[in-house]
A and B are shown apart, each in its own frame.
Chain A
Amino acid sequence: GQSLEQPSEVTAVEGAIVQINCTYQTSGFYGLSWYQQHDGGAPTFLSYNALDGLEETGRFSSFLSRSDSYGYLLLQELQMKDSASYFCAVRHGGFKTIFGAGTRLFVKA
């Protein structure tokens, strides 16, 4: 079956760097996405990695290692508004996308 694992909670201080890891087990892997969801809001797309390596978009970077079935989201210069849930999502065989349980990020002043 398909499964994704990510930590349930992470706490960091404003201005710091935080890394949220995601390991997955799936067949027919196409790529790994990251989504941000604020309380009461809809998930919004952050990044997508289909190939190994690091993708950078402003303060957010995402990394993928296909051989290790592992990826991470790196958030730099943390701001209070970054407090949210972050989901990794795997796109696998048949163009299907499944989500992890989410990591709740708390940013403290």
Chain B
Amino acid sequence: EAGVAQSPRYKIIEKRQSVAFWCNPISGHATLYWYQQILGQGPKLLIQFQNNGVVDDSQLPKDRFSAERLKGVDSTLKIQPAKLEDSAVYLCASSLAGGDGTTEAFFGQGTRLTVV
């Protein structure tokens, strides 16, 4: 079974530039998450999709971050314009369903963003 695919793996941009990350979840997984992980910290949920609807985006800085999940499969996360504090690893994860059963989330390798 293929895992969660993310691209690019690494990205360096200057502040005020824009950047986009792409995620392809495991086939059949209804729930897709984007997390931001700053070095030395736990993953922070930015946005959670159930199919192509947003379940939670309460911690997404909507003035600069946007995300979409077209047709309930692939997803893109965009930052425009980037700030220095956006430097982090952006992790995409997926899980089978959003119910309250076993909830194993499978993570991609992440995109390491450096804003200079």
Contact = CB atoms under 8 A, between A and B. Distances in A.
B55 A94 contact: yes
B100 to A, nearest CB: 4
A42 B105 contact: no
B42 A87 contact: yes
Contact of B104 (A42, A45, A99): A45
Interface residues of A, number: 21
Contact of A101 (B42, B45, B105): B42
Interface residues of B, number: 27
Contact of A96 (B56, B99, B101, B106): B56
Contacts of B109: 41-42
Most buried by B among A42, A50, A91, A94: A42
Interface in B43-89: 43-45, 48, 50, 55-56
Nearest to B95: A97
A94 to B, nearest CB: 6
Nearest to A44: B107
Interface of A: 30-31, 33, 41-45, 48, 50, 87, 91, 94-102
Given A94-B56, A95-B98, 10 more contacts: A43-B93, A44-B107, A48-B104, A91-B100, A95-B48, A95-B50, A95-B55, A95-B99, A97-B103, A99-B44
